[in-house]
Homo-oligomer: A and B are copies of this chain.
Amino acid sequence: MSEKITIYDIAKKLNITAATVSRALNNSPKIKESTKQLVLEAASSMNYKQNKLALALKSGRSNNIGVIVPRVDSNFFASVIRGIEEELYPHGYQVIICQTHENPKRENENLYTLIDAQVDGILMSVTAVTNENDDAFQNVLEKNVPLIFFDRSKQINGVSSVTINDFKGGYIVTKQLINQGCRNIAHFSGDQSLEIFKNRFLGYKQALLDSGIPFNEKYVIQSKSSVEAGKNAINILLELETPPDAIFSSSDFAALGAIQELRDRNINIPQEFCVAGFSNEPFTKFMELSITSVDQSPLEMGKMSARVFLEQVGKTDTIKIEKKVVLAPELHIRKSTSRINS
């Protein structure tokens, strides 16, 4: 019952050859309509299933695409993956998930593993910008496997990317803080070797300049994306002789940490202190004191990455199609930075 049945079994039953069966199944025009019917019926009655592995071996295409992310249990990455899967599903691609856990070595392994597995493309968010993985990326390109970066990208010739305009994101959120009357605006940044964090920072800086507010280096703190890190960071800032009156955090989690700490110190938000985050994590909306944040439209980012992949796949041209898609960030203004209505 569970025996694998092949086109040879069908051929034998019909007293024809496997080649004919193959052609019939693939709807080749060279096959007589009558035999085509015969084959189709036999195939379904015998419960025939094409062996994708054999097909993949023969064609060199696996119909799998690999997705590499730092971790899958974050709302942002999970949403991107959802978008990718939804977009690729109708095209018959399966999505293979890899996690780096922010470890460049894992990233390296994942890249080689996916290539070994003969994926038809790799969509990924870069973990770090060491160049120790350059060989792995080169390997991907040499194998002519489409490589697409989303969100966290890396400058490599011939590689497409889908990102948001992080500079603008940083800019508009900072402007909002300024509009609320804040003048001593601090910034929690991530690892600035990653472009996304660098650009958010630059947007922040530019907004200050454009408003005639001097940039203060002491107001910029590099912190991890966690509640704990946010608490630590705000504590450092509050020790300054001129403590800030607002924070733009590159991470919603760090923003939350700051808020919790401020509250413990009975500092009124948003009246005395405004806080804004980045990523629009679900909880920012749900909080009683909802948190202003910049949305990165992860679902759309995933879908767009998938579309870029679909455009590139199969194109054997050595002329690399390098496509840079930049999505617009969207500021969600909430209570944590709304002095007007509070």
Residues of A bordering B, CB below 8 Å: 1-2, 49-54, 56-57, 62-64, 71-75, 78-79, 81-82, 85-86, 89, 94-99, 112-118, 142-144, 227, 256, 263, 282-283, 286-289, 299
B287, A50: Cβ atoms closer than 8 Å? no
Residue of B nearest to A64 (CB): B96
Residue of B nearest to A62 (CB): B53
- Please tell me which one of the listed residues B85, B116, B263, B289 contacts residue A72 in the complex, with CB atoms under 8 A apart: B85
B72, A81: Cβ atoms closer than 8 Å? yes
Using known A-B contacts A53-B57, A286-B256, A287-B286, determine if residue A99 contacts B86 with beta carbons closer than 8 Å.
yes
Q: Which residues of B contact A57 (CB under 8 A)?
A: 51, 53-54, 57
A73, B64: Cβ atoms closer than 8 Å? no
B82, A118: Cβ atoms closer than 8 Å? no
A-B contact pairs, 24 of them (CB 8 A): A1-B142, A2-B142, A49-B112, A49-B116, A53-B56, A54-B57, A64-B64, A64-B117, A71-B82, A72-B81, A72-B85, A73-B75, A75-B75, A78-B78, A81-B97, A85-B97, A85-B98, A85-B99, A86-B99, A89-B99, A94-B97, A227-B286, A282-B283, A287-B287
A72, B75: Cβ atoms closer than 8 Å? no
Residue from A1, A57, A112, A286 having most chain B Cβ neighbours under 10 A: A286
